[in-house]
């Protein structure tokens, strides 16, 4: 969609049209200011078009298939549901189109616009978008991120997929379910898509160079637990696997992997690269604006999201982990509004607060995370009380016959303040918000213990984990403290 306007000077020129950009444009509109966005692909950015929305839509569909064929209850017989993959993809596209229209495209033309085309800086106040130059009193860089392509011999001559396979109305969209799939990388994207395709009937192999999946920035218990669950489900996980080369054979992609002193070849119909994401700053002529970048290409900003150039701001994935940020849609959306306030409002400047950012991995069971890991807490100088307990201690998990998982709580051993929680288990993406709200107000272990939880719920896992600081929760009656 291309909404154009004859105007060329704006209070705020925004590079990008994702959640960060739209949040900033909407706040500019509320302040009575003018704004314009740029977009070279599809309005809405990664989340709605090829990330959060389509992946969660298809992951839930895959769960329906799996649950029907693997009922947890004796007395319920398995049922093989019929999968029409192309129809499933079409409904995914319909969901994306409807959501994009309601939450993005329908908002255009009411004080802010999109110029279609690739955006590049001309100077610190001017951006070239296609054939048009836009100038702004203030500028926001919100160009997001894209999949990282590792340096692997032969990759440039082999067809491969990235997480963009979930897009719609673009050439890289995957519309046929592969018979087999090799995934390079063992992070959250690999796990979500790997389990999804396996449940659609694809033979899936995950190649991870570390000792376990979710090796970087997560509690070790999370990777160990979900790795075991995946292998029990039939997903092959090869760890300590360093990919040295890839090549194309007649009907397969062949990946050569070094494992210690030996090498092994793996074959599959399709190859999926999930080795991380990088900020989109390398193709916008950012040097012409004089904006400084970090080692990974992230735009460097202060707590007000200002770059080293006073009228140029940056927010969303493009700032990477600057000021403790995370590449997540709600983070960018909140920060986009803060940018517009700081750039356009006469009120006091607002600083960002990235201390508490809950996040989730939508595997089955889900993984919910907020705050510090044990390793991070110790590195920050805390004397750590840290304990992991199995989900089998949670009454709700036993009642619904879904005891897979673990919950780990990290607290300061001297003050009992809760510093972080990682939960692998049923409904973890919902439960983790209780921890986030508690941490927002510096809750301590007894705050989670004293809060009356509904019985039986998965949220009781938090209370039970906190109780384990003082008692053995396996020896308590239901709801006892």
In the predicted structure, residue 2 carries a pLDDT above the cut 70: no
Region 260-281 average pLDDT = 95
Instruction: Answer yes or no: are the C-beta atoms of 434 and 440 closer than 8 Å.
Output: no
Instruction: Answer yes or no: are the C-beta atoms of 369 and 383 closer than 8 Å.
Output: no
Over the stretch 130-154, which tens digit does the pLDDT of each residue have?
Answer: 999 999 999 999 999 999 999 999 9
Q: What percent of the chain has pLDDT over 70?
A: 99
CA distance 284 to 314: 13
164-178, 304-318, 340-354: least confident range:
164-178
Assign domain 359-475 to its CATH superfamily. FAD/NAD-linked reductase, C-terminal dimerisation domain (3.30.390.30)
pLDDT band at 111 (very low <50, low <70, confident <90, very high): confident
Average pLDDT, the chain: 95
Region 28-52 average pLDDT = 92
In the predicted structure, residue 102 carries a pLDDT above the cut 60: yes
The pLDDT assigned to 83 comes to 97
Length of the chain: 481
Over the stretch 386-399, which tens digit does the pLDDT of each residue have?
Answer: 999 999 999 999 99
CA distance 349 to 355: 18
Query: pTM of this prediction?
Result: 0.95
CA distance 153 to 127: 37
Q: Was domain 9-44+104-146+278-344 assigned CATH 3.40.30.10?
A: no
Burial 127-152 (b: 16+ CB within 10 A, else e): bbbeebebebebbbbbbbbbbeeeeb
DSSP for 226-261 reads HHHHHHHHT-EEE-S-EEEEEEE-SS-EEEEEEETT
In the predicted structure, residue 3 carries a pLDDT above the cut 80: no
pLDDT band at 465 (very low <50, low <70, confident <90, very high): very high
Give 476 or 328, the one with higher predicted confidence: 328
State how beta strands 132-141 and 312-314 pair: parallel
In the predicted structure, residue 1 carries a pLDDT above the cut 70: no
The pLDDT assigned to 457 comes to 97
The pLDDT assigned to 37 comes to 96
Q: Where in the chain is the domain with CATH 3.50.50.60?
A: 9-44+104-146+278-344, 155-275
Q: Where in the chain is the domain with CATH 3.30.390.30?
A: 359-475
In the predicted structure, residue 415 carries a pLDDT above the cut 90: yes
The pLDDT assigned to 172 comes to 87
The pLDDT assigned to 5 comes to 66
Assign domain 155-275 to its CATH superfamily. FAD/NAD(P)-binding domain (3.50.50.60)
In the predicted structure, residue 322 carries a pLDDT above the cut 70: yes
CA 471 vs. chain centroid, Å, equals 36
Residue with tokens 């004080």: 111
Instruction: Answer yes or no: are the C-beta atoms of 318 and 299 closer than 8 Å.
Output: yes
Q: What percent of the chain has pLDDT over 90?
A: 89
């Amino acid at each position: 969609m291309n909404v154009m306007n004859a105007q060329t000077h704006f209070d705020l020129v925004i590079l990008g049209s994702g959640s960060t950009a739209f949040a900033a444009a909407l706040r500019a509109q509320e302040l009575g200011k003018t704004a314009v966005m740029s977009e070279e692909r599809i309005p809405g950015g990664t989340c709605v078009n090829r990330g959060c929305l389509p992946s969660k839509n298809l992951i839930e569909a895959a769960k329906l298939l799996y649950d029907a064929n693997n009922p947890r209850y004796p007395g319920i017989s398995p049922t093989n549901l019929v999968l029409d993959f192309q129809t499933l993809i079409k409904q995914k596209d319909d969901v994306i189109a409807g959501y994009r229209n309601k939450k993005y495209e329908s908002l255009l033309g009411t004080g802010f616009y999109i110029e279609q085309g690739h955006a590049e800086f001309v100077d610190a106040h001017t951006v070239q978008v296609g054939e048009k130059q836009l100038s702004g009193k203030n500028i926001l860089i919100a160009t997001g991120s894209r999949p990282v392509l590792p340096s692997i011999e032969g990759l440039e001559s082999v067809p491969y997929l990235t997480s963009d396979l979930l897009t719609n109305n673009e050439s890289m969209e995957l519309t046929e379910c592969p018979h087999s799939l090799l995934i390079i990388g063992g992070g959250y994207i690999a796990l979500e898509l790997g389990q999804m395709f396996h449940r659609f009937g694809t033979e899936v192999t995950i190649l991870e160079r570390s000792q376990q999946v979710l090796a970087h920035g997560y509690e070790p218990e999370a990777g160990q637990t979900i790795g075991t669950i995946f292998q029990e489900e039939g997903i092959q996980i090869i760890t300590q696997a360093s990919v040295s080369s890839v090549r194309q054979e007649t009907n397969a992609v062949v990946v050569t992997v070094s494992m210690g002193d030996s090498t092994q070849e793996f074959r599959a119909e399709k190859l999926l690269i999930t080795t991380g994401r990088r900020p989109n700053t390398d193709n916008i002529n950012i040097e012409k604006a004089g904006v400084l970048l970090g080692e990974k290409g992230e735009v460097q900003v202060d707590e007000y999201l200002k770059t080293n150039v006073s009228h140029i701001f940056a927010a969303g994935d493009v700032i990477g982990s600057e000021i403790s940020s995370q590449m997540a849609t709600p983070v960018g959306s909140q920060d986009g509004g803060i940018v517009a306030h700081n750039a356009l409002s006469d009120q006091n400047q607002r600083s960002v607060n990235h201390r508490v950012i809950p996040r989730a991995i939508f595997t089955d069971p889900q993984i919910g995370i907020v705050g510090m890991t044990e390793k991070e807490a110790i590195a920050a100088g805390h004397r750590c009380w840290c304990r992991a307990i199995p989900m089998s201690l949670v009454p709700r998990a036993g009642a619904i016959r879904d005891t897979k998982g673990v919950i780990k709580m990290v607290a300061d051993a001297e003050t009992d303040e809760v510093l972080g929680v990682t939960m692998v288990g049923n409904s973890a993406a919902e439960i983790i918000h209780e921890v986030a709200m508690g941490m927002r107000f510096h809750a301590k272990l007894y705050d989670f213990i004293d809060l009356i939880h509904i019985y039986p719920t998965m949220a009781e896992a938090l209370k039970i984990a906190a109780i384990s600081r003082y008692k053995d929760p396996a020896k308590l009656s239901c709801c006892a403290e």
